[in-house]
């Protein structure tokens, strides 16, 4: 088999790709099927998209166009990453426009659960600490659902980060205007302590969190408003 020889490009070692892909491969049989939103079948399965996403970040590609070029020219990418019949620019764009958000959330939750069973706990004397925050992500104008402001599209992630183990625990997506406070009750489990900034401070919500036997610590810089004694009973 002919081998690519491009001295100007950094070397890519396939084992590193498989190290990242192996945990996902075990989850794929349980993952909901990604279906086309139109009459044409997708040229990339959700598995193809995941492989391309991992490869994109490992290789630090600068654009989708660059990735497509590599998928068509690089021996490893063409044989192990790209769909069996290859992929063109228009087909790639159509497939990516059908991003499997449901499937990605499913894979995320499965991986987070698996990791939490392996990683050791730190600072157990402080209980279960979960950092909560929202963050904006730039979106293209064609993503009409990502409403933010005129001529600007942004999505927002609402993340719960397990501070005891150093891994994300839960993630939710909204448009850029999505409120952050309502997601506290979806991210925290009974008995956990949430760590957030002052944007989450709202007294009537504290009552509902207290009813759910949850705790909340609001922090900014090095100052902590310790409210656990009030809301934890």
Model confidence, pTM: 0.71
User: What are the tens digits of pLDDT across the range 6-60?
Assistant: 545 555 555 688 888 988 888 999 998 888 777 777 788 888 888 988 898 888 8
Share of the chain above pLDDT 90, in %: 10
Q: Which two tokens stand for residue 221?
A: 């810089």
Q: Is residue 233 over pLDDT 70?
A: no
Q: Can you count the helices (H) and strands (E) in the chain?
A: 9, 7
Strand-pair category, 129-139 with 167-175: unpaired
Which helix (H) or strand (E) is 95 found in, with range?
helix 89-97
Given a cut of 90, whether residue 3 has pLDDT beyond it is: no
- Answer for the pair 112, 169: CB distance below 8 angstroms, yes or no: yes
pLDDT-derived band at 167, boundaries 50, 70, 90: very high
Exposure string for 110-137, b = 16+ CB within 10 A, e = fewer = bbbeebeeeeeeeeeeeebbbbbbbeee
């Amino acid at each position: 088999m002919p081998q690519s020889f491009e001295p100007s490009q950094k070397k890519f070692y396939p084992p590193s790709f498989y190290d990242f892909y192996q945990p996902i491969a075990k989850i794929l049989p349980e993952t909901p099927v990604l279906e086309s939103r139109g009459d044409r079948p997708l040229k990339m399965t959700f598995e193809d998209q995941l492989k391309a996403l991992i490869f994109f970040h490992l290789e630090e590609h600068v654009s989708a166009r660059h990735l497509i070029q590599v998928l068509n020219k690089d021996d490893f990418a063409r044989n192990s990453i790209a769909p069996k019949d290859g992929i063109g620019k228009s087909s790639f764009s159509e497939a990516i426009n059908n991003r499997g958000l449901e499937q990605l959330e499913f894979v995320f939750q499965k991986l987070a659960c698996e990791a939490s069973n392996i990683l050791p706990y730190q600072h157990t004397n402080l209980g279960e600490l979960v950092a909560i925050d929202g963050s904006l992500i730039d979106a293209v104008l064609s993503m009409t659902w990502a409403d933010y402001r005129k001529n600007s599209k942004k999505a927002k992630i609402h993340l719960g980060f397990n501070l005891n183990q150093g891994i994300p625990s839960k993630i939710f997506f909204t448009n850029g205007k999505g409120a952050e406070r309502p997601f506290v009750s979806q991210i925290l489990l009974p008995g956990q302590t949430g760590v957030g900034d002052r944007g989450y401070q709202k007294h009537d919500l504290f009552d509902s969190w207290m009813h759910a036997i949850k705790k909340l610590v609001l922090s900014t810089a090095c100052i902590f408003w310790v409210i656990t004694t009030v809301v934890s009973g």
